[in-house]
Amino acid sequence: MTATAARAVVFALLALMIAGCTDIRRTEPERGANEQLLLSTAADEAIKRMEFSLDDGSRVYLDGRYFDSYDRAYAVGALRSALLAQGAHLVSNRGDAEVIVEVRSGALSTTRRDFLVGFPAIEIPVPTTTSLETPELALWKELDRTGIAKFAATVYHADGGLIREVGPVYGLSWLDRNHIVGIAWDVRNTQPDDVPIDPPVSGPDPARKTK
C-alpha cells in the first residue's frame, strides 16, 4: 500500500469515527442492574449449598453482625428464608433463642474480563457539559463478568456450645456477552431465559403502559 493510499484509509476511518460520535450521558445510577443481578445470583447460589441441619421448630436467632458485604440486606434476607425453609423458628431477640446461627461473608463481588479485536471507543473532551465518544468498531469482542460469593456460618447453642460449622460455601454467577462482526449473544445465569434482556428494537413495549 502506498503512503497516499494509507493516508486515505486513515482519513476515512477518522471521518467515520467523527461522524459517528455520540453524546455520553452520566445520569445512570451509580450501580448498574447487571452488577446487582450478578451479586444477588451469586449469593443465592451459595446459600443453596448451606445445610444448617436444624431440628424442626428450633428457636433460632440469626446473628449477622460479622456479615459485611455489598448487598448485605438481600443476602441476609435470603439466609433468613433458607433457615425458615429448613425448619427453623426465627426469633427477633437473642435471649429467646435456643440456637444461634452466626453468618459471615468471605466474598461477594464481581470480576470482569474484556477482550477486543478492532477499534475501541475513544472519549473526546469538549468544552461543554457533555462529552463525545467515537463509536466502537469491534470485529470480535468478549465481555465476561462473574459474580463470586463465599459464605460460612457457625451454629451453636445459646449457652455457647458448638453445634456445627457450615461451609465455607461458594456461589458463582456469570454474564458473558460475545460479539462477532455484528452478531451478539449472551451467556448468563442471572435471569431466566424467558426474561427479555434488551428493549424492543422499535415500537412501544406492551409491558410499559401508562395510566
Across the range 7-35, mean pLDDT stands at 54
Which has the closest alpha carbon to 35: 205, 139, 157, 175? Answer: 175
How many helices (H) does the chain have, and how many strands (E)? 3, 9
Output phi, psi for 107, to 5 deg. Answer: -165, 140
What pLDDT band is residue 10 in, cutting at 50, 70 and 90?
very low
81-129 per-position pLDDT tens digit: 999 999 999 999 999 999 999 999 999 999 888 877 877 777 777 666 5
Rounded distance between C-alpha atoms, residue 70 and residue 36, angstroms: 9
What pLDDT band is residue 165 in, cutting at 50, 70 and 90?
very high
Which has the closest alpha carbon to 100: 54, 55, 65, 61? Answer: 61
Cell of 134: 467515537
Q: Which domains does the chain have, with CATH numbers?
A: 18-188 (3.40.50)
* The pLDDT value given to residue 33: 85
- Is the pLDDT at 154 greater than 80? The verdict is yes
The continuous run of DSSP H or E covering 200 comes out as: none
- What pTM did the predictor assign? 0.70
Which has the closest alpha carbon to 23: 119, 135, 118? Answer: 135
